[in-house]
Structure 1
Amino acid sequence: MDYDLELVGVGKIYDNGAPAVIDVNLQVGKGEFVALLGPSGCGKTTTLRMIAGFETITHGDILIRGKRVNDLSPERRPTSMIFQNYALFPHLTVRENAAFGLEVKRLPRAERTSKVDQILDKFSLADIADHRTDRLSGGQRQRLALARGLVTEPQILLLDEPLGALDANLRKAIQAELKLLQRNLGITFVFVTHAQSEALTMSDRIVVMNLGRIEQVSSPYELYTRPSSSFVAQFVGRNTILDGTLRAMRDQEVSVETQFGVFMGQRNAVLSVGGPAKIVIPSEAFDITSKAAGSFDAIAGQYAGNVMSGVIERREVVGHLASLTVELEGGRLVMMEGHVEKFRNESLQPGAKVWVAWKANDATVIAR
């Protein structure tokens, strides 16, 4: 398969010896929308800047459509980068900002004018083409940054948290516009974010980074439902994670002995019987039943033994979503979330004694 972008053993070590990125290997297909997700300092922005050419690499290779670009300056690479603060020139007009990249590439004036007219029209900026950028709204500034990045017709568009400065409502609207735009243009997007919702909503694949390394590369659904490491399980979603020992294994289904009982889940790591393991249960996977409404044996039979005893500590409802916090024996807290209809039983109030259960297929077992 031909890739738009390949990172082969790419690493970055600063002059003081501190590693920023460690042996990153990644392949991105043509027209793919890939998100680099992780906490501050994980190496995602450094990785993006190395792809763009704004940061030198210490070792490894960066290939764009099979061509090694390690030694090419940013303006000679078939990429365009949109920065978190958009990096617009306040002393230039909308039209002049959009034309800047074409001027750097020394395109003839007539061709520049034609391309800029087309891109401003596409982003509904033609009516304000002569305005200075300090007169633009947040949404207009974001669209101008995209227009300036795309007018040069890059093979890959690199985006460094470009929605971070927008308010919540505008951010959600721009997310939808950006994904639709990427799909229509067919250009490869590599998008850096620390916001899970953005990565899960917009991308085709997510690359989770931690301490300079890649932890997991998966589709959004697989990442959310099948984490492959402790870090991903803790960072993505709201999961309950129970430490234990692997007791039995049959194909993908395994059993783990924990302080709360022996539970079943789906294996998503290299494990060995008798070795340490963790069982990860998403907050949405939990079902809850009042002890007055069913016995332990009845619930355990229904959920293949995946049941724990607890007391509801807190109940919260925000719009159509509800969350319950249950305290298990020993003080461990478990959070569960879902539509209000799932928890509408009037007996499910703070202080109620309950059974907490889940289906084996909804739980993931990883290495500890």
Structure 2
Amino acid sequence: MILKGLRVVLFAVALLISMIPAAHAVGCSLQIFAVDYPPIVEPGQSFQVTTQMNVTCSQSKAYIVGRLDVVETAPNVILSSTSFPIGYFADLAGGTRNVTAVNKVVAPPLQANWTLQVSATLFTSVSAIGGSQKGPFTIMVGHAPLPERLQTASILNNGDFENGLDGWSVEKSYGYLTITNKVAHSGSSALKLQMPPRHFGTIDGAMVVGVSQTISVADLRSLRVRAWVMDGCYAPWYVSCSLLGSGRLRVQVGGFTETYDFGGCSSWCQIDHNVTEDLKPRLTLAQYASILHSDRAVPVTISLELLNAGSYFVAHLDDVQVSASVPLGSTPFLSQSFHGVGMSNQGVPEVNANVVAASSRGLLWFRSLSEEHIVKLMENGFLAKQLPLESFN
């Protein structure tokens, strides 16, 4: 009697299991046969990308869903995702279903040719089971951009260290930092960074010594950094110095950073990098526009650093230049507002102004916030000269 009851229970359980869709022998293919999109959109415009697909499955009792991504091809970044249900293919013979998915996309705030593609993937509750891509295709954002006339300005203050560390902020968790008059690429001074061997148990790169400088640049279009470096290390005879180079030049533009390592220059050699071109492959058009085609001021930070790397490493840096290109007629760069420029006891009224240019010799140009003229400020803080704004551009 007990055995008979057990058989009934087992039969009921088996019947219930057979009624539950199971993901066994899943075989599906997906084909994208049409993508509909507007050929021209305005900067910042929201629009739709409509994709039509065929899904064919055989011998599947699994519930299937799909995901469709719109991808910007150059940095391979997903801009928009949407899901679409497929359902069950319960019969062993399988079948084909037509599916339409719609993605909402927002154009970047920049006139350019925008290259996209669509990518579809099928899923069960267990894993992805297939996919397909279509594209690339190009959408024109705005009208064809007119070429801009650009001007280039050096935006770094005291890049030759002739005025010591003026304009630079010191960052130091270990090591030594000095201005030396014994070695220089030009002039009489250079920055000297020294990093002793790391403490026992400290991983490489955990300690740093260096300097940094931040400038806010409006209407930035391109950025280039140059520096002269001479370095060396003191290592055991069985360790190659070329493996211990721990110098790093770091450039941060907005929220994006490019890092350039240096080392192995026993005599003066130049670092020369086009930061704009190096950043471009990693950015979407919207990200690119936010820092390199924005009318807002974008913070630019340059850092010269040594990291601990197992030996005593020394680096000299001199003649550091950061060149920014901006549209002709734009202010080269803006810094924080200065107040009380000029000295009242010299018979010169106080002026509220923004920095618009600087030289490594300590002469600063300021743009007046109240009048359309340029103010030249001498090293001692006295107002030296005023010029009409158009004479500066």
Q: TM-score, normalised by structure 2?
A: 0.22
TM-score (ref. length: structure 1): 0.23
Q: Which has the larger radius of gyration?
A: 2
Name the structure where strand makes up a greater proportion of residues: 2
Question: Could you say which structure has the higher helix fraction?
Answer: 1
